Amino acid sequence: MMGMTRHLTSRTTWRFAAALVTVGALTVAAGCGDDKKADSPTETAAATAGVQITGQWARTSPSAATIGAAYATFTSTEDDAIIGVSIDASIAKTAEMHEMVMAGADSTMPVSTNGMGSTATTMGAMTMQPVAKVALPAGKAVTFKPGSYHFMLMDLAKPLEVGTTFKLTFVFEKAGSITVDVPVLDEAP
Ligand SMILES: [Cu+2]
């Protein structure tokens, strides 16, 4: 116990003014051309309770399109599940949760190849179907992305234009409803 030596420590107090370090977030990403297709988000969820939603975006829609698609990554602190999605009628009539599945060879559903994570699937043999529930295991990031789970925006009120945003509400089994602003982009962020 050295409680009597306070005066010594005061002499060795050093102040480093402006020890402010701005860390450029621009790590030179390994953007080089190895066949890296999986663009998996590496962000981890903060230690807050509930579900964290990151990287949400919607693909711009051609003016003739009546459906749109939106994507996001969900990370829950506890075992949860996403059980619904809703959208304002000023954007689209309804929103649905979809998954891509292998379908019969007669499928003519056009599938965007943009961001497809898998190289082994035959594009023409995949189609999508509504899904009622997607599990969110605790601590595991679940990404909705082109070629996988996605949110389908049915009967768009107007085309989704790059630079705009709209609100999308996700419903979780435990975490309840969470509404986020979804930017419209050309490509995945
Ligand atoms: Cu779909």
Q: How many domains does the chain have?
A: 1
User: Which residues have C-beta under 5 Å from ligand 1, the single-atom ion?
Assistant: 98, 128, 152
Report residue 164's pLDDT band, with 50, 70 and 90 as the boundaries: very high
Distance 131 CA to ligand 1 centre (A): 10
pLDDT, tens digit, 9 for 90 and up, residues 54-91: 999 999 988 888 999 999 999 999 999 999 999 999 99
In a domain, residue 38? The reply is no
Residue 72 has phi, psi (to 5 degrees) of -170, 165
In a domain, residue 95? The reply is yes
Residue pair 20/26 in contact (Cβ under 8 Å)? The answer is no
Q: What is the pLDDT of residue 75?
A: 97
In a domain, residue 44? The reply is no
Give me the residues paired with residue 171 across strands: 84, 177
Q: What is the pLDDT of residue 126?
A: 85
| The pairing of beta strand 126-130 with beta strand 92-102 | antiparallel
Residue 109 has pLDDT above 70, yes or no: no
In a domain, residue 37? The reply is no
Residue 168 has pLDDT above 60, yes or no: yes
Q: Average pLDDT in the 104-119 region?
A: 46
Write the CA distances from 186 to 23, 24, 35, 160, integer angstroms: 29, 26, 22, 10
Q: What is the pLDDT of residue 96?
A: 97
Residue 33 has phi, psi (to 5 degrees) of -85, 25
Question: What secondary structure, in 3-state letters, does the chain show?
Answer: CCCCCHHHHHHCCCCCCCCCCCCCCCCCCCCCCCCCCCCCCCCCCCCCCCEEEEEEEEECCCCCCCCEEEEEEEEECCCEEEEEEEECCCCEEEEEEEEEEECCCCCCCCCCCCCCCCCCCCHHHEEEEECCCEEECCCCEEEECCCCCEEEEEEECCCCCCCCEEEEEEEECCCEEEEEEEEEECCCC
Distance 116 CA to ligand 1 centre (A): 14
In a domain, residue 1? The reply is no
CATH of the domain at 98: 2.60.40.1890
Report residue 150's pLDDT band, with 50, 70 and 90 as the boundaries: very high
Q: Average pLDDT in the 18-39 region?
A: 34
Distance 70 CA to ligand 1 centre (A): 9
In a domain, residue 142? The reply is yes
In a domain, residue 162? The reply is yes
Distance 10 CA to ligand 1 centre (A): 67
Parent domain of 78: 49-112+122-184
Distance 46 CA to ligand 1 centre (A): 30
Q: Cα torsion for 22, 23, 25, 27, to the nearest 10°?
A: 150
Report residue 159's pLDDT band, with 50, 70 and 90 as the boundaries: very high
In a domain, residue 132? The reply is yes
Q: What is the mean pLDDT of the chain?
A: 75
Residue pair 84/175 in contact (Cβ under 8 Å)? The answer is no
